[in-house]
Chain A
Amino acid sequence: MAVEMQMASPSEALATTDGRLVDLVDGLLDHGVVLRGGLWLTVADVELVFLGLDLVLSSPQKMRELKT
């Protein structure tokens, strides 16, 4: 006996209640373009911390608006 196999189109995957496919689609939500940056925090020429940043191209005001 061979491995069980299923095929699904994106619309089928989006509409499914199969937990595995739901997880798969949820995983895709994090993929795609995220503009990234980084920042070294330095005190007296000593590098202390590197911050990896997902660069959100939005003002704090806009972010507050989106949350409400």
Chain B
Amino acid sequence: MKRFAIGWCLADCPCPEDVHKTDVGPLAILSVSECQASAPRQRLHHQVSCFDLGMDLLPIAPRAVLTEQDAVEGAAAHAPHIMEHIERLAGLGQLTLLLSGPEIVAERPARGNSWLRRRQAERHEAEETVQKMQRAVLRLISNSGLPLRILHNPKRGTVQCHLLVQRTEAARIRAGIAAEAQTLPAETGLLQVTGLWPPYAFSQLQEPQADRAVA
């Protein structure tokens, strides 16, 4: 039966019944049968189930399609890196904050130069709004000293922030963010806090040095 890999963990970890574990030395490859994990969201769902069981999992990007055999080969080639990352991320999870700006009311369409000027002004305004929102998000977490990744999308008027937190501290940090959010004005938009996720935004193996092909 074909299985898709969803991540790596240490060989001695227990895992959910519907997840298959293949030990490769000190590492284990977690995989799920094709019929249960053909879509990226299904793979993400299984990763979350493993994480919720308390596993320290190094997740493969759900959109990347790796078979179990591919992951075994990956483990053989990158074992020290994978081990190092699993150990580094042990006991940690990801809280994701999404701040969405207020909806922009579309004006009546104009023509020619005025249309161009209006589009330029709108783009400028969207950039400024998102910058303000980014400052607001940073204010929310400025005292936490946590590792973070911030992504902003002026086109959609959103700022997303991933925080790497101790599993045991997640509730306290969430409560701290909620308390701090009370100080943000209503016009900042809508703040959505999700998690605890497996540490997706912090699970990247270092890039190997570029190879060279000479013609």
Contacts and interface: CB of A to CB of B under 8 A. Distances in A.
Interface of A: 1-14, 20-21, 23-25, 27-45, 50, 54, 56-58, 62, 66
Given A1-B186, A42-B215, A30 B191 contact: no
A13 B212 CA distance: 43
Contact of B211 (A7, A21, A39, A66): A39
A6 B190 contact: yes
Interface residues of B, number: 66
A34 B197 CA distance: 18
Interface of B: 7-8, 40-41, 44-45, 47-48, 52, 58-67, 70-71, 73-74, 78, 85, 96, 98, 100, 136, 151, 156, 158, 160, 162, 174, 178, 181-186, 188-198, 200-201, 203-205, 207-208, 210-215
A57 B73 contact: yes
A43 to B, nearest CB: 5
Contacts of B44: 14, 25, 28-29
A7 B136 CA distance: 18
Contacts of A30: 61, 63
Contacts of B58: 33
A39 B181 contact: no
A62 B188 CA distance: 48
User: Which of A24, A33, A36: most chain B CB closer than 10 A?
Assistant: A33
